Amino acid sequence: MTDTPGPGAAQVGRRVPRKEDHRLLAGDARFGADVQFPRIVHARMVRSPIAHGTVLRVDAAAARELPGVVDVVTAEDLPGDPHIPVRLEVAGTDLGERLQPVLAARTVRYVGEPLAVVVAEDPYVAEDAAELVEIEIDELEVLLDAGRAQGDDIVADFGLGYGDVDSAFEGAAHVIGMDVAVQRHSAVPMEPRALTVGYTHATGCLEIFGSTKVPAFNRQVLAGLLGVDEATIRMHAVDAGGGFGVRGEFYPEDFLIPWLARRLRRPVSWVEDRAEHLVAVNHSREQRHRIEVAVDDEGTILGLRDDVRHDNGAYVRTHGVIVPELTLAMLPGPYRVPAYAGRVRVALTNKTPCGTYRAPGRFEGTMAREQLLDLVAAELGMDRVELRRRNLLAREELPLTRAMHTLGTDVVLDSGDYVGLLDRALSRVDELGWRDLLARGRAEGRVLGQGVSMFLEKSGLGPHDTADVEITSTGRIRVHSGGTSLGQGIETVLAQVVADQFTVSVDLVDVVNGDTMLQPYGTGSWASRSTVVAGSAVLGAGRAVAERVRELGAQLLEAPPEDVEIADGEVRIRGAATNSRSLAEVWRAAQPGSPWLGAGEPAGLSARHRFSVDHMTYPYGAHVCLVEVDPGSGGVTVLRYLVAYEVGRAVNPALVEGQLRGGVAQGVGGALFEEFRYDESGQPQSTTFMDYLMPTASEIPPVDVVLCEDAPAATNPLGARGAGEGGLTGAGAALASAVSDAIGLPAMTGLPLDPETLVAAMARPATVRDRLRTDGIS
Amino acid sequence: MKPAPFEYHRAYTPQEVVELLRELGEDAKILAGGQSLVPMMNFRLAHPAALIDINPVSGLDYIRREGDELRVGALTRHRSVEISRGAEVRDGFAVLPRAARWIGHYPIRSRGTVGGSIAHSDPTAEWCLLARLHDAEIVVLGEHGTRTVPSEEWFTGFLTTAALPGEMVIETRFRRPRRCAALLEYARRRGDFAIAAAGVAFDVVDDRCQDVTIVLGGVAGRPLRVPEAEAHVQGAEPAESTWAEAARIAAASVEPGAEADGDHDYRRHLVGTLTRRAFREAYETGTDAGPVRGVA
């Protein structure tokens, strides 16, 4: 349900229809590949067919001969052996040796690693020519199991924690542990990556279309690698068919395509195809946990330990080792955990390198922790929900500082009512009649189960973001933000925030995101941060412009500034609506030459505001679901799903719900279907949509949402907590919990919950199933 | 994901297709619905030098009855069978429209053809399984006219058939009508290729099962009949215990290889499940006095 309030009504907090939708639905959106130029040429990557080996020869002679081929480039043509730097550093780690080269020169380390790039007059010829590049590789032994990594293949080994864990475990009545594994999967946006780069030799300027996540950062990296001034590179705002973490990071192509445009003095277009996408973009999620907890007889947590093996694939990419760091930092979640020690070993293997995927590190850690809690409940004969309720932090225990650091900030759980949210989730489930559904289904002999998981999220990462707000000639309001439009609706949200400063409808606001010429200081859209951080920057800039409008408007109205107000997009004398000036009139008064513009005053009505914040804000939530397992096939049907989520303050509840529902869809994929498999030689087995199983509408259940605004964030003026990831964070855990409940296991030891695994699990005698072994069922 | 260069030819009669096949040789491929061939070309798993587009050929899109035989023209779209409700289909071949619903997704069913599927010979393809279930004959046209190949000889292995160079499929003749029949599949997502499939067909005479056929898909390089399990049902009472035992025998008699979507034991388990459920559905729908169920 949406409503469009008239002018004057507050926009923040309303289900305002998305500003983006008209152009997206009418086919007017502009994606990276939609931008084409005269004389454009098309690039095609040549990728390694071998998982690990010494490159003996990359021979492009035959490819160059093909009519229509413009250029073929291999590693030896590149200047200075470029490698892609880390964007998110983790203190104390040195990853320099294991960064990904733009093109492999001597060694290939995964199937799909770029070896050469072909440029041709049309994309068909480019693909024909790519097949003619002769590659000779001397195969080396492959490492595919992070658990077997040793020496240099362990690129980081670090811990996070607090309290006296050893004592907690020594004195505990029960120590319960298990192994939990999460399979390799990742974001698969509907639009694969695309880059179009224009180059003007006369000015030396590069125009880049298609980089949509952290454009200002990518510009900085590109300028450094090319040895040019950042001012000669402009990243343009484009639409994107989904991001989810993988799109818009700096990949080899993000250097190659601009570099080729300069080398050839021609515009270059590159569009990734799906088969490439599935081996080239960041993979994610592959972790093995050995997790254990010390509890007393009542199930009270005394201490928690986790030993994680993280498979990072062949190289360290832009995320460095931030994903496993996040796993450790967030592992205790919303619970009272007096002592905690987490350790992770980050291994490099001969698979596609890894990075972030929506809810990075937390989807995995939440799965491990919540399965362990299910196991504890089974071992102690307690109800799963009661065990959680007993251990959740109480409202009065917050704020709580955990002596850990992640993403460069301390972990300070700001505020919240975790128990209250769980209660709200469960009472909604009762209202929806799930209890009956479960009981009736079971009475019919069907194999049904209900699952629950609790999670803590993080959002609103600083340290800063910058936004500009400007009034334009017709009295419209323009926002230049550093966020990027990935489909999440950020244009609408930012428009709502600024519209309230002028009490206008969002229709009067234009938002341009991710153009580095318009906004050179933006920090991008990721980590559930844009509404919180960019939104707060827009709020600050909007307030500053409104102040200037009031000041100038007062002069026009010949009244003292305290007597004028801005309402319905006009400046007027309080209580005298007839005596007013429109925003356009105020704009004209601010133009150079205007008698109202003082000699020392800047022309125009605009302001730039930087919002800085030291700490993240921590949303939280619960997932509850109902599943059916078919014993005949092992197939899992998700019958019902509910997410309860604390968002602090919903700028647009409809968009928050959309974010949560989209997250659940990806969670169903990650829990039941999606997996990047490899054979024993490191050949990827999931290179098409026949093998990499994205859930479709048929597999996604109805999703109910309980949207809570009980704990506004104190760290930003909107009171907002981010909402980008919480639909996914608890999904693997909740679905695993429901399946274990259905088939009578105390917990599940891994994802995905595939039919083969479940049939094998159900075939075990009940006596075995009653006690879960740490070697598990998967 | 763009095909390698190829020549494109268009044919208007079956004779033209055969002439073009002779002229262009073995590097030419027939393009019918294109639902398997075109993706394979885009992945560059297939590099045909030439395509012969038979979509303009008239007279190959039909479903008609000749006595006991149901004859389906090669260019008949899956969707046409799916929505067919006439007596020619209903009487003894009612499983065909029901089973057609398992084929991919709606756009695939609207475009893909019965003849294309028979010629492609995927061991989990519905038409290949149904051909074996109903003892079909495949009619092919070559340089020297038509010949007819029994389906048990037609499917020679994974994506291979008994077609000779220069021949095209023009018709599939389903020859053994039965009142009780069902084809069941299991895939992890709706519309995917089946991990395994089981088809059964039989009649019930004097409360005894007669004329029993069981065909399995996804367990070998081609559709597989399981005579031991058929023999168990032959002459037996139509009852849950009969189905269960037949399913057990069917599962035990196959040796499916391990693949990404399931190991040997899992596939056997699935064959058992599907066989049992196929018998149940076949019996329920076949003995139902009303119209054939499952047709939208």
> Rounded to 5 degrees, what are φ and ψ at A675?
-160, 130
Pairwise CA distance, residues A481 & A523, whole Å: 9
Residue spans per domain, chain A? 21-29+464-612, 32-141+194-239+247-265, 287-460+615-770
Contact check, Cβ <8 Å, B277/A632? yes
User: What per-residue confidence (pLDDT) applies to A560?
Assistant: 93
Cα distances from A760 to residues A579, B261, B267, in angstroms, run: 79, 14, 11
User: Could you read off the pLDDT of A510-565 as tens digits, one per residue?
Assistant: 999 999 999 999 988 888 899 999 999 999 999 999 999 999 999 999 999 999 99
Q: What does residue A335 show for φ and ψ, rounded to 5 degrees?
A: -100, 160
The answer, yes or no, to whether residue A323 has pLDDT greater than 50, is yes
Which residues of A are less than 8 Å from B276 in CB distance? 632
- Chain A residue numbers with beta carbons less than 8 Å from the beta carbon of B191 are 696, 698
Given CB atoms, is A754 within the 8 Å cutoff of chain B?
A: yes
- Would you place residue A2 in the very low, low, confident or very high pLDDT band (cuts 50, 70, 90)? very low
**DSSP E strand boundaries for A534-692:** 564-567, 570-573, 576-582, 605-612, 620-629, 636-646
pLDDT tens column, A591-619? 999 999 999 999 999 999 999 988 889 99
Q: Which candidate, A616, A725, A619, places its Cα nearest to that of A187?
A: A725
CB-based contact (8 Å) between A77 and chain B? no
Q: Which residue of A has its CA nearest to B266?
A: A756
Does A767 reach chain B within 8 Å, measured CB to CB?
A: no
Which has the minimum average pLDDT: A398-412, A460-474, A762-776? A762-776
Residues 596-655 of A with CB under 8 A from B: 632-635
- Report the pLDDT value the prediction gives residue A777, as an integer from 0 to 100: 30
Residue A4 C-alpha from the chain's centroid: 29
The Cα A537–Cα B114 span in angstroms is 61
pLDDT band of residue A752 (cuts 50, 70, 90) is: very high
3-state secondary structure of A176: strand
Contact B170, B146 (CB under 8 A): yes
Q: Please tell me if residue B263 touches chain A, with a CB cutoff of 8 Å.
A: yes
Pairing of strands A509-513, A477-481: parallel
Q: Give the whole-angstrom CA distance, residue B181 versus residue B201.
A: 4
What is the model's pLDDT at position B288? 63
Answer yes or no: is pLDDT of A24 > 70.
yes
Which long-range contacts link B88-91 to residues 24+ away (Cβ below 8 Å)?
B88/B63, B88/B64, B89/B63, B90/B291, B90/B292, B91/B65, B91/B177
Q: Look-up: residue for tokens 């296991």?
A: A745
pLDDT mean across residues, chain A: 94
Q: Which residues contact B3 (CB under 8 A, 6 or more apart)?
A: A124, B38, B41, B42, B44
For B63-174, CATH gives: 3.30.465.10
Contact B189 A690 (CB under 8 A): no
A275 touches chain B (CB under 8 A): yes
- Mapping DSSP onto H, E and C, the string for A115-175 reads EEEEEECCHHHHHHHHHHCEEEEEECCCCCCHHHCCHHHEEEEEEEEECCHHHHHHCCCEE
- The pLDDT of A147-153, averaged and rounded, is 95
Q: What is the distance between the alpha carbons of residues A755 and B265, in angstroms, rounded to a whole number? A: 12
Looking only at the bridges linking them, the beta strands covering B50-53 and B7-10 are parallel
State which fold the A21-29+464-612 domain adopts. Answer: Aldehyde Oxidoreductase; domain 4 (3.30.365)
Classify each residue of A681-706 as buried b or exposed e, where b means 16 or more C-beta atoms within 10 Å of its C-beta: ebebebbeeebbbbbbeebbbebbbb
Chain A contacts in chain B segment 205-234 (CB below 8 A)? none
Shortest distance between the Cα of B178 and any Cα of chain A, in A, equals: 27
Chain A residues in contact with B193 by the CB 8 A cut-off are 690
Mapped onto helix, strand or coil, the DSSP state of residue A536 is helix
Contacts of residue A747, Cβ cutoff 8 Å, sequence gap at least 6: A178, A371, A372, A374, A375, A378, A736, A737, A740, A772
Taking CB atoms and an 8 Å limit, are B189 and A131 in contact across chains? no
Q: How do residues B167-213 score in pLDDT, each as one tens digit?
A: 999 999 999 999 999 999 999 998 999 999 999 999 999 999 999 99
pLDDT at res. A211 = 86
Residue A766's pLDDT band, with cuts at 50, 70 and 90, is: low
The predicted structure's pLDDT at residue A774 = 34
By C-alpha distance, which of A483, A480, A486 is closest to A467?
Answer: A480
Question: Do A567 and A576 form a contact (C-beta atoms < 8 A)?
Answer: no
Q: If you measure CA to CA, which chain A residue comes closest to B197?
A: A633
Of the candidates B1, B189, B266, which has its C-beta nearest A759's C-beta? B266
The per-residue pLDDT for B260 is 72
The pLDDT of residue A778: 28
Residue closest to A118 by CA, chosen among A106, A135, A101: A135
pLDDT of residue A518: 96
Q: What integer pLDDT is reported at residue A90 of this predicted model?
A: 75
Distance CA(A707)–CA(A653), nearest Å, equals 8
Q: Return the closest-CA partner of residue A659 out of A645, A649, A672.
A: A645
A364 touches chain B (CB under 8 A): no
User: By the CB < 8 Å criterion, does B45 face chain A?
Assistant: no
Cβ atoms within 10 Å of A539's Cβ, excluding its own = 23
- In angstroms, the separation between the Cα of residue A639 and the nearest Cα of chain B is 15
Kindly give the pairing relationship between strand A53-59 and strand A134-139: antiparallel
Q: Which residues contact A22 (CB under 8 A, 6 or more apart)?
A: A28
Q: Do A759 and B5 touch (CB under 8 A)?
A: no
Residue-wise pLDDT tens digits, A567-580: 999 999 998 777 89
Residue type, B84: S
Does B243 contact chain A (CB < 8 Å)? no
Touching check for B8 and chain A: CB below 8 Å?
no
Residue of B nearest to A678 (CA): B260
Q: Model ipTM? A: 0.93
> What pLDDT is attached to residue A406?
81
Tokens of residue A716, six digits: 């930003």
Share of chain A above pLDDT 90, in %: 89
- The two tokens of residue A101 are 């080269």
Q: A144 — phi, psi (to 5°)?
A: -120, -10
Residues 6+ away with beta carbon under 8 Å from A529:
A459, A460, A461, A465, A523, A722
Please check whether the two domains, A21-29+464-612 and A287-460+615-770, share a CATH topology.
yes
Cα separations in angstroms, B140 against A36, A143, B22, B153, B155 = 48, 51, 15, 13, 14
pLDDT of residue A765: 63
B257 touches chain A (CB under 8 A): no
Cα(A770)–Cα(A766) distance, integer angstroms: 6
Spatial separation of the C-alpha atoms in residues A102 and A115, rounded to whole Å: 9
The architecture in CATH of the region A287-460+615-770 reads: 2-Layer Sandwich (3.30)
Predicted local confidence at residue B289, as pLDDT: 39
Give the residue ranges of chain B where pLDDT is below 70: 288-296
Q: Where are the domains of chain B?
A: 7-53, 63-174, 180-286
* pLDDT (tens digit per residue) in A695-715: 999 999 999 999 999 999 999
How much is the pLDDT for A587? 98
Contact of A723 with A643, CB cutoff 8 Å: no
- Least confident range of A87-96, A357-366, B193-202, B258-267: A87-96
**Domain B7-53 class, CATH top level:** alpha beta
Q: What six digits make up the tokens of A772?
A: 């879960």
Q: Are the C-beta atoms of residues A347 and A155 closer than 8 Å to each other?
A: yes
Burial tier of A22 (Cβ tally within 10 Å: 0-12, 13-18, 19+): exposed
Chain A residues with CB-CB distance to B43 below 8 A: 275, 688
What are the beta bridge partners of residue A560? Answer: none
Residue A633 with chain B: CB contacts under 8 Å? 186, 270, 273
Distance separating alpha carbons of residues A70 and A72, to the nearest angstrom:
7
- pLDDT for the residue B6: 97
Strand positions, DSSP E, chain B: 7-10, 28-31, 50-53, 63-66, 69-73, 137-142, 145-150, 155-157, 160-161, 168-174, 180-186, 196-205, 208-217, 224-225
**Given CB atoms, is A200 within the 8 Å cutoff of chain B?**
no
Phi/psi of residue A149, nearest 5 degrees:
-70, 140
Residue B2 at interface with chain A, using a CB cutoff of 8 Å: yes
Domain B180-286, what architecture? 2-Layer Sandwich (3.30)
- Closest CB from A274, A756, A760 relative to B1: A274
CATH fold group of domain A32-141+194-239+247-265: Aldehyde Oxidoreductase; domain 3 (3.90.1170)
Residue A215 preceded by cis peptide, ω within 30: no
Residues A760, B266: C-beta atoms closer than 8 Å: yes
For chain A, percent of residues with pLDDT exceeding 70: 97
Q: What would the two tokens of residue A157 be?
A: 């080994």
